[in-house]
Amino acid sequence: MEPDNLRLDRYILQHARNPNPVVCFLPTASGDSDGYIVRFYAAFGSLLCRPRHLSLFRQTGDLESFVSECDVIYVGGGNTRNMLAIWRACGLDAILRRAWESGTVLCGVSAGAICWFEQGLTDSAGSLDPMTCLGFLPGSCSPHYDGEPGRRPAYQALIQQGALTAGYALDDGAALHYVGDLIARVVSSRPAARAFHVRAEAGAVIEEAVQPHFLPSTTDT
């Protein structure tokens, strides 16, 4: 998402189980967009890792073995509904859960961020709607909280109505770092980016800002 700002990408690699990790990009949500795959290699090819990608529209074979070789799974943005339908059809959802339980870092942007939660706010059908996701992490999540004008009011309204459970909304550049199903840290690649915990209480919406730790660049001292 930020080709000239790799703070979050470096942070992800720091938490992989191997010092030179295999990082697999899953571009399913974008229909395995060639341009997106090229951008992934351009970013991660400059970092200490071994990048690869898995194209479910073109590749066949033993998905379990392929995923088990990866230290990091990085999921791209796009259509969350289509992505999860494809994953479930080929059993990748269960494979990813086993990988997570064995210590693989699961991460992603936009669709690749909300997919891990019980619920997410998605525009996959053209409007902002709640959807059931993988359920690895508790609660709900919305990306692009500051990047798309309709996100904040839609997320708050759906939580107030009970259509979404309480959860976290993320400005572009903010990230939640979970260990297991508990938040360990909130970080950001942009100085002004924040995360918000949003819940309904006595019929009112409560939004609590969380100030992330702004990650350093390689040139910061």
pLDDT (tens, 9 = 90+) of the chain, 221 residues, equals 688 899 999 999 999 999 999 999 999 999 999 999 999 999 999 999 999 999 998 876 899 999 999 999 999 999 999 999 999 999 999 999 999 999 999 999 999 999 999 999 999 999 999 999 999 999 999 999 999 999 999 999 999 999 999 999 999 999 999 999 999 999 999 999 999 999 999 999 999 999 999 999 875 53
Spot the catalytic one: 110, 124, 142, 189: 110
The neighbouring-strand residues paired with 141 are 120, 168
Can you tell me the distance from the alpha carbon of 30 to that of 42, in angstroms, rounded to the nearest whole number? 17
pLDDT attached to residue 60: 66
Give kind and range of the element (H or E) at residue 68: helix 63-68
pLDDT attached to residue 208: 98
Can you tell me the distance from the alpha carbon of 133 to that of 81, in angstroms, rounded to the nearest whole number? 9
Can you tell me the distance from the alpha carbon of 26 to that of 96, in angstroms, rounded to the nearest whole number? 11
Can you tell me the distance from the alpha carbon of 210 to that of 213, in angstroms, rounded to the nearest whole number? 10
Whether 65 is a known active-site residue: answer no
pLDDT attached to residue 3: 80
- Residue 67's CB is within 10 A of a number of other CB atoms, namely 19
Contact 216, 29 (CB under 8 A): no
Spot the catalytic one: 124, 142, 144, 189: 144
Count of positions (residues) in the chain:
221
Whether 213 is a known active-site residue: answer no
pLDDT attached to residue 181: 96
Can you tell me the distance from the alpha carbon of 149 to that of 105, in angstroms, rounded to the nearest whole number? 31
pLDDT attached to residue 2: 82
